[in-house]
Structure 1
């Protein structure tokens, strides 16, 4: 406004000196307030945010490392468990095979005992039958011989000799006919 009164022509792009001074003074006051009050609060918030971000990254890296370590431990435990299971399976197979072999041996032993007992019993029964048959045949032979001879063969010693001689003759005939066949 002063320039208009002085009569000088006004230049639209040239600022007036008092406006420049007032503008610089107002800018300085605003800058000082921002610098003293607002800038420390902004820096503090930025520092806190930076610390949170850095701390979060560090925690995330630590958690990731811990998770990887835990995963490795689980994999190792799983590997050990698989090896243990394979070992136990192998032991069970070996024990099963040993048990089967033992049971077969026991069955074979029992079978042999039963066969031996059967042979023994069969031999005892054969001897008993032969003795019984010998006595019955002897009695019949004595009775028949007594009827043929016409005398009694009741004398025990004579009867026994006669029976034994008769049966021995029968056995010889049976053996000779068995050998001839």
Structure 2
């Protein structure tokens, strides 16, 4: 055999191999590579989308946290104001109650003073009658002098 014929035959076989590879082997490989590239591109796009969604979710969380902090602060302030109002109301009620108790005590003291004065008048009247009775032993008539003693008691 001739080297030229062998070389020619090898070139023909190589050309058939190239044609067979181009026709039957290369399209599934390129299709698989294209699909793989598409999957990678979709994955990267999904990752970017997830990243933006995560950033948006973080912003929403921050807004919600800020809102809850503000609400908590406002509720604490309201609770403090309410506590102060309750304390002031309790102080006012206590002052009112102490004023009532003081007024009742003054009224009781006034009544006791009136009773003591009345008892003192009775005692003074009794002493006056005893004194007058001792001075006037001769002429003491209780029914006649009762009016006189009542007037004396009223003057005292």
Q: Which residue of 2 aligns with 1:161?
A: 151
Q: Which residue of 2 aligns with 1:7?
A: none
Q: Which residue of 1 aligns with 2:86?
A: 99
Shift of 1:134: 0.9
**Which shifted more, 143-152 or 19-28?**
143-152
Shift of 1:153: 5.0
Q: Is the 8 A contact 1:142 1:153 kept in 2?
A: no
Q: Partners in 1 of 2:84 and 2:25 — Cα distance? A: 86
Larger Rg: 1
Bigger helix fraction: 2
Q: Is the 8 A contact 1:142 1:159 kept in 2?
A: yes
TM (normalized to structure 2)? 0.91
Q: Partners in 1 of 2:152 and 2:19 — Cα distance? A: 158
Q: Which residue of 1 aligns with 2:58?
A: 71
Shift of 1:67: 1.2
Q: 1:94 to 1:88 in 2, by over 3 A?
A: same
Q: Partners in 2 of 1:164 and 1:144 — Cα distance? A: 18
Structure 1 residues without counterparts, runs of 5 or longer: 3-15, 168-181
User: Does 2:107 align with 1:120?
Assistant: yes
Q: Which residue of 2 aligns with 1:26?
A: 13
Structure 2 residues without counterparts, runs of 5 or longer: none
Q: Is the 8 A contact 1:138 1:163 kept in 2?
A: yes
Q: Is the 8 A contact 1:142 1:162 kept in 2?
A: no
